[in-house]
Amino acid sequence: MNLNAGRNFEGLDDSAIELRARRALAGLFNVADPNRVIFTSGITASLNMILNGLLKEGDHVLTSGVEHNAVARPLEMLRRKGVIEVDHLQCQADGTLDPESVHKAFLPNTRLVVLTHASNVLGTILPIRECFRIARERGALTVLDAAQTAGVFPFSMDDQNIDVLAFTGHKGLRGLAGTGGFVLSPSAAEQMAPWLSGGTGSASDNLEQPDFLPDKFEPGTHNILGILSLALSVEEILRLGVDVIRAREMTLTAKFLELCEGLPNLRVHGPKDAKRSAAIVSVDSPGGDVGVMAGRLYYEHGVITRSGLHCSPLAHKTAGTFPHGTLRFSLGYDTTEKELFDVAEALKKVL
Ligand SMILES: Cc1ncc(COP(=O)(O)O)c(C=O)c1O
């Protein structure tokens, strides 16, 4: 079977499909030029390209104490190679970050401030607009890991002082796994060097990577079915309205937090306030094993959770849940209140 044979969608060829997806994503993140949307295989690929493309020897980077390894490991790799210095801004145990800490930790060679928008362990929303304003005022570029918030939070790259926004396709954007990308401010697009190079189907007589967008950062054959999935899912999100999605997720999170509060022997981590959180609730039970709890929830009650460190040892060190980790519930726009009651009942039995 040739899966590529069905690739022509509604008469659109590859570049028309890409443009459709770029336009939808540019609408979602509020940027004027769709060519500033770059496709990759996900946030991990995006962050490797962004960090390696922007950082030079002697640069200092500020990041937070709740970052996913997609941020922390590429930075650590550059640090170990002796290219950069990194400081992790201390967050409170619930993940809260004081923007003033950016001021305090800023050095003359701080070139980049890299933050996650919401912790994938604690749900905590970081004060990115304020942190990034301080960073920009002092001459640094700003990079956002929007894995937990793209598609479920309203965005404006200009208003939020974001130079580069990295997104993944398979979470709030509801696209296929293995999709994602990043969006660039005009200044970041100029300053960032390509980290991957190769054929683009453009300026092929030149051995140098083209310097125009999106080709500068998109060598090789694209995941066109993945990109099509993003075009369709993001158009659907825009029709529905991100504000509507966020409001619904907040209501569900508040309800689930309330249900968890009533359960004995359960500790809830994170801000415990839906307004300050993405739709994530992380728990543990004193003396209990979160892996066993996750297994019992799944095999005895059909509830899918994720347990352990969630690729974010820094967040667990911040929360005081390292190395045992937590049990994490992820709610979504389609979650029903009945499901929340059923999950709380199942959790009560497991506890
Ligand atoms: C906060 C955060 N950053 C980065 C990633 C990695 O995203 P991707 O799987 O698209 O590389 C995830 C996914 O788990 C995440 O939650």
**Residue intervals in the chain for CATH 3.40.640.10:** 3-240
> Is the CB–ligand 1 distance for residue 173 below 6 Å?
no
What distance lies between CA 50 and its chain's CA centroid?
14
CA 129/CA 99 separation, integer angstroms:
9
Is residue 60 a contact partner of residue 84, using CB atoms and an 8 Å limit?
Answer: yes
Q: State in Å: Cα 208 to ligand 1 middle.
A: 31
Residue 345 dihedral angles phi and psi, to the nearest 5°: -60, -45
CA 79/CA 84 separation, integer angstroms:
5
> Is the CB–ligand 1 distance for residue 314 below 6 Å?
no
Task: Summarize pLDDT for 118-147 with one digit per residue, the tens.
Answer: 999 999 999 999 999 999 999 999 999 999
Tokens 């499909």 found at: 17
Q: Residues 242-350: name the CATH superfamily.
A: Aspartate Aminotransferase, domain 1 (3.90.1150.10)
Helix (H) or strand (E) holding 107: none
> Is the CB–ligand 1 distance for residue 278 below 6 Å?
no
CA atoms within 13 A on the CB side of 189: 20
CA 278/CA 275 separation, integer angstroms:
8
Task: Dump strand ranges (E) for the chain.
Answer: 37-40, 59-64, 84-89, 110-116, 141-145, 164-168, 180-184, 267-269, 280-284, 306-308, 326-330
Report the CATH architecture of 3-240.
3-Layer(aba) Sandwich (3.40)
Could you give the angle at the alpha carbon of 334 between the alpha carbons of 328 and 339, nearest 5°? Answer: 60
Give the total residue count for the chain: 351
Could you give the angle at the alpha carbon of 55 between the alpha carbons of 53 and 57, nearest 5°? Answer: 130
CA 54/CA 267 separation, integer angstroms:
40
Both tokens of 13, joined, read: 């060829």
Annotate 86-100 with DSSP letters as a single string. EEEEPPPTT----TH
CA 28/CA 239 separation, integer angstroms:
11
pTM over 0.95: yes
CA 271/CA 277 separation, integer angstroms:
7
Is residue 96 a contact partner of residue 271, using CB atoms and an 8 Å limit?
Answer: yes
> Is the CB–ligand 1 distance for residue 145 below 6 Å?
yes
> Is the CB–ligand 1 distance for residue 180 below 6 Å?
yes
pLDDT in tens, the chain (351 residues): 566 655 667 888 899 999 999 999 999 999 999 999 999 999 999 999 999 999 999 999 999 999 999 999 999 999 999 999 999 999 999 999 999 999 999 999 999 999 999 999 999 999 999 999 999 999 999 999 999 999 999 999 999 999 999 999 999 999 999 999 999 999 999 999 999 999 999 999 999 999 999 999 999 999 999 999 999 999 999 999 999 999 999 999 999 999 999 999 999 999 999 999 999 999 999 999 999 999 999 999 999 999 999 999 999 999 999 999 999 999 999 999 999 999 999 999 999
CA 317/CA 162 separation, integer angstroms:
27
**Residue intervals in the chain for CATH 3.90.1150.10:** 242-350
Task: Summarize pLDDT for 3-25 with one digit per residue, the tens.
Answer: 665 566 788 889 999 999 999 99
Cβ-proximal residues to 98 (8 Å cutoff; 6+ apart), any chain? none
What distance lies between CA 223 and its chain's CA centroid?
20
Task: Summarize pLDDT for 269-320 with one digit per residue, the tens.
Answer: 999 999 999 999 999 999 999 999 999 999 999 999 999 999 999 999 999 9
Please, what sign has the CA dihedral across residues 121, 125, 128, 131? negative
Is residue 56 a contact partner of residue 105, using CB atoms and an 8 Å limit?
Answer: no
Ligand 1, atom 13, residue with closest C-alpha: 147
Ligand 1, atom 12, residue with closest C-alpha: 147
Strand partners, 84: 59
Strand, coil or helix: 84: strand
